[in-house]
Chains A and B, each alone.
Chain A
């Protein structure tokens, strides 16, 4: 993972512009923005990052239209669009 660098980037988190430090992960950015429900289980329970290292798959979100990206493994980039299941308003991830 690259070192945290100075400066800020703006991403769209569930349609809301969020300014975050460059170099952080999407997971960190979302948590920092107060988003805790990243996705929902098959039965509709909220899920959030657990392991933070790409193993548990609990932090999956849709990034720039691609579903099931692990937020803990992706570094934020200027203009990135991130959508969580909470915003999708559905019991399943990946729904547009």
Chain B
């Protein structure tokens, strides 16, 4: 092995690890990325591709907004390879109570400089004709987008490589040690080790408050124009926020190919990756309750994955004091795609001693959130 030593080792070649690799390489560090499987095959494959602002908390809003702005300024090559589409999000309100929540959401977004449009039933159907009649309305957030995150991950890794980074796939990091990692008989040394192992982060740093939260996903054949925006029910955030054992929410995304991606489910079932037909059925039924025409589409694949959930719904970004040289970039649950670039920028700023653009304190890995919930 040539690369016994690097300036920074990034554990995990998902979209967060790839973003960190690119950011650290840009700062002039010799970066080595190590992934037990292959790039974008783990937690990243469990995502949908949101590049969205989310307002579950002030901190989440700050990081998603910052991160989204970084997607805007990626090179043409990275944006094109990522299939980035600024398709916007339509949040669907089922009734008047939810429509009130939509208006509150609009006020909050306005306070943060994000333009939105409140939709009534008619304009909602005009925006998304496949939604069923009788919904109260919704909120259009035109500035949100969607990427194809496996391709984005490859593009970010390619970018990192142009700045000298090396990527080792199919090599399992068995242990993170002081200023290094152990892979079988090999030990790689670096001043900085970044645990970006997604849902598996806590298997390498056991004290991390990260648990795997399982999700099902469905992708259809190509039906160009079936939906124009990413569409989600307003209750999605509630489903994401509450750490229940099982929940589903309506969320569809148009892909550049014309395929429709359908989510979402959330379960706490340990590491059981099998497709649960009952939960899948519930998820699809929920989607069809909003978009009945979905029932007539042909699906090409159904799969599951694990999102790294933290008790306070915020990722863990920063130094881990218990192990010399160790930094964490994990725990993004369902927002790792959106938050990848912001996470990497925050981490790189902290590492380089620069002032981060947003307050890093809420994301400190040792901020004292309760330990894992199960």
Contacts and interface: CB of A to CB of B under 8 A. Distances in A.
Interface string B210-252: 0000000000011111000000000000000000000000000
A67 interface: yes
Contacts of B225: 95-96
Nearest to A39: B222
B257 A66 contact: no
26 contacts: A42-B222, A42-B257, A60-B221, A66-B296, A67-B221, A67-B222, A67-B223, A68-B221, A68-B222, A68-B298, A90-B224, A92-B222, A92-B224, A92-B257, A92-B258, A93-B221, A93-B222, A94-B221, A94-B222, A94-B223, A94-B224, A94-B258, A95-B224, A95-B225, A95-B258, A96-B225
Most chain A CB neighbours (cut-off 10 Å) among B223, B257, B296: B223
Contacts of A42: 222, 257
B257 to A, nearest CB: 5
Interface residues of B, dominant DSSP:
loop
A60 B222 CA distance: 11
Listed from nearest, the 9 A-B pairs whose CB atoms lie closest are: A92-B258, A68-B221, A94-B223, A95-B224, A92-B224, A68-B298, A92-B222, A42-B257, A94-B222
Contacts of B258: 92, 94-95
A95 B262 CA distance: 20
Interface of A: 42, 60, 66-68, 90, 92-96
Interface of B: 221-225, 257-258, 296, 298
Contacts of A66: 296
Nearest to A66: B296
Contacts of A92: 222, 224, 257-258
A72 B221 CA distance: 18
Contacts of B257: 42, 92
Nearest to A60: B221
Contacts of A60: 221
A94 B369 CA distance: 49
B296 to A, nearest CB: 7
B299 to A, nearest CB: 11
Nearest to A70: B298
A67 B226 CA distance: 12
Contacts of B296: 66
A60 B258 CA distance: 15
A94 B293 CA distance: 14
Nearest to A88: B224
Contacts of B222: 42, 67-68, 92-94
A40 to B, nearest CB: 10
A37 to B, nearest CB: 16
B254 to A, nearest CB: 12
A60 B257 CA distance: 16
A38 to B, nearest CB: 14
Nearest to B226: A94
B130 to A, nearest CB: 14
